[in-house]
Amino acid sequence: MDDRWRTSSQAYGAFWKAVPLEPKVVAPELETSQEAEAARRHARLERLLAAHGLAERPVAGDGNCQFRALADQLYGSEEHHDAIRAQAASSPGLLRHMAPPRPRSVKICI
């Protein structure tokens, strides 16, 4: 057995071999093109929001972020998110167009 695979305890045998890591490098031009695409999409979002008199602003990511964002844009404050959520829940067809929640898919809401 090659010494680079030797462990302090040979109890695991060949199964417990260390795997040498090979660095993976992203090509600079690919990273730049992805960053450029993300910047183009963000600029488009800002234009669409501005056309409707809205702006991108961070809100608390506590599971109420859609309602906090609506309250922030409509009333200038997140504090009325619970009233907006109650109104949405009392309207039967209103919530069917919203995206279903995806747990742990987003860490913050913007």
Q: What is the pLDDT of residues 44-74, one digit of tens each?
A: 999 999 998 888 998 888 888 999 999 998 8
Residue 106 pLDDT exceeds 60: no
| Residue 2 CA, distance from chain mean position | 44
Residue 21 has φ and ψ, to the nearest 5°, of -85, 140
Tokens of 92: 């039967």
Taking the C-alpha atoms of residue 61 and residue 36, their distance in angstroms, rounded to an integer, is 27
* 109 beta partners: 59
| pTM for the model | 0.52
Residue 99 pLDDT exceeds 90: no
Taking the C-alpha atoms of residue 61 and residue 83, their distance in angstroms, rounded to an integer, is 17
Q: Where are the domains of the chain?
A: 25-56, 57-110
